[in-house]
Structure 1
Amino acid sequence: VIVEAEHRKVRMGDNVTLSCALKSPMDVLQVTWQKDSEESRVNIATYSKLNGLKIHKPYEDRMNFTSLELNRTSITFWDTRMDDSGCYKCLFNAYPLGPISGDTCLSVFGLNASVHYNISEDHLIAICHADGLPEPTITWTNLFNSTPTQTTIKRKNGVVSITSQLEIHNIQSISAQDLTCRVSNTNEKIELPVKVKGEEGSSLLWLVIIVVILVVVIVLIMLFWRRPTCRRS
């Protein structure tokens, strides 16, 4: 088997095609694509003239065969995700030789991140999580005299997951501008501010106060403008 693209690289969200071709024509009954997972190899797509094509879950809506020749096979991913990264095997079930296989790998470069917090016993715990390829880094704009703890998981497909946890005891010192999680790798940067609900409520209260003051001012202006008019009439 000749693998036409041994290692494809693509940005997250783009389309990409993986291909395999036999060096010489054979009597192929079925073509199967498999993906190496963390623990095993799973079927993701099969095609034969007898049974047609089948795309397995969870790929039905974002992957399909783009070549239905039995001696040459191609699959295309739409809107790629980072978890599409990994190695794939194409299996040609040929008669009378049996299965003939080739391997190709895919790297989907990207960065996903999220931040959330919990308040317990008058202290705040902020947790920032990032998945990236290449490996991401996490920093905080303000540590508030605390030291964050960090865990790193390097997955088989190359994607690295990092979680940073910051515990802050002086909640009153935090504002939306004071605490931000910064996530980056060699390709992208993301900033995620920590917005405490108390601050959102305070902002809403000030907005209500300003609206009430404006309404009162408008009413007073209208009353003042109407009084001379009433006297003349």
Structure 2
Amino acid sequence: RCATEYPICNNCEILGFTVVPQAGYTEVRMGKNATLRCALTEPKEVLQVTWQKESEESNENIATYSIANGLKIHEPYKDRMNFTSLELNETSITFWDSRMDDSGRYKCLFNVFPDGSYSGSISLSVFGLNASVHHESSEDRFIVTCNAHGLPEPTITWNNLFNSTPTEETVKHKNGIVSITSRLEIYNIQSISARDLTCRVSNTNETVELPVKIKGGRKSYLHPLLSLKSLHIGLLSKREKKARLIS
């Protein structure tokens, strides 16, 4: 009965009661506050409450509270997360200005005397979209790279390909966030008149447009041999002027 009613409780069958999260899954928009709550189903002598962020390697302590030692917020959560309930049988933490990398699975642990530890888990998803674009140019090509980082999964499109085919790389992170990099190489840029290029990044919640100004027709490149020749002529001119002054 216990395992069916509280499937996210780690040890309810053994202990005879449960840790009940406010919700097994919480979703907020990036930049908003995110609150996670857990409570025991019956009062116990709780010595300390600990919150952890779970990972495959190890669970990271992010916050602890006890009457004896007070509260402690661990780096890198200090100054942007705190306890919003200091009851030992009922605990809550709040992320201020939540970030997408706050997404993941969190565990609340109640250290109870004399029984030991009771725990429950909550999944947090912070959805949003971050995007950036940068470019570099050489004598014969113009390379534009557009990066997207979002939840839900973003897509990248270009408003103009200039007869080129973009390459794309996708990385799906364990916390659900997806990173995409799209790279567009444009050749023969001298033949391109001044035109606008836009990287469009979108997911189911929002769209971001990042313009890149291409001024291929106005770019001028000085050939290395021409540069050396110009320098040689300049040196000769200086010598001629010096010779005239001496004579």
Equivalent residue, structure 1, for 2:202: 184
1:75 aligns with 2:93: yes
Structure 1 unmatched runs, 5+: 203-233
* Structure 1 pair 29–197 and aligned structure 2 pair: CA distance change class (3 A): farther
* Secondary structure of residue in 1 paired with 2:101: helix
Match among 157, 162, 181 for residue 163 of structure 1: 181
Which position in structure 2 is the counterpart of 1:112?
Answer: 130
Cα distance, 1:170 vs structure 2: 2.4
Partner of 1:134: 152
**Matching residue within 121, 131, 134 for 1:103:** 121
Q: In the TM superposition, what whole-angstrom CA distance separates every residue of 1:142-192 from its partner, at most 9, and x where no partner exists? A: 1111111111111111111111011111223164x5211000001000000
Q: Does 1:40 align with 2:62?
A: no
Change over 3 Å in CA distance of 1:58–1:201 after alignment to 2: farther
CA-atom RMSD in angstroms: 2.0
Q: Could you report, residue by residue, the CA deviation over 1:81-100 in whole angstroms, capped at 9, with x for unpaired residues?
A: 11111110001111111111
Cα deviation for residue 124 of structure 1 reads 1.4
Deviations 1:7-55 (A, max 9, x none): 1111111112100001111111111101124643211111111111011
Contact (CA 8 Å) 2:155, 2:201: kept in 1 or not?
yes
Residue deviations 1:56-97, cap 9 Å, x none?
111111110000011100001111111111110001111111
How many pairs are equivalent? Answer: 201
In 2: Cα distance, 1:83 partner to 1:167 partner: 31
Q: Distance in 2 between matches of 1:112 and 1:201?
A: 31
CA distance in 2, matches of 1:174, 1:65: 58
Contact 1:38 1:156 in 2 (8 A): no
Task: Give TM-score, length-normalised by structure 2.
Answer: 0.77
The answer for unaligned runs of 5 or more in structure 2 is 1-18, 221-247
1:125 to 2:104 alignment: no
Q: Shift of residue 201 of structure 1?
A: 9.7
Give the alignment of 1:1-233 within 5 angstroms.
Answer: 1-37=19-55, 39-172=57-190, 173=192, 175=194, 177-196=195-214
SS in 1 for 2:23: coil
Alpha-carbon distance change, 124 to 37 in structure 1, aligned in 2, over 3 angstroms:
farther
The Cα shift of 1:119 comes to: 1.6
> Does the 8 Å CA contact 2:193/2:217 hold for their aligned counterparts?
no
Cα gap change, 1:117 to 1:19, in 2 (>3 Å) = same
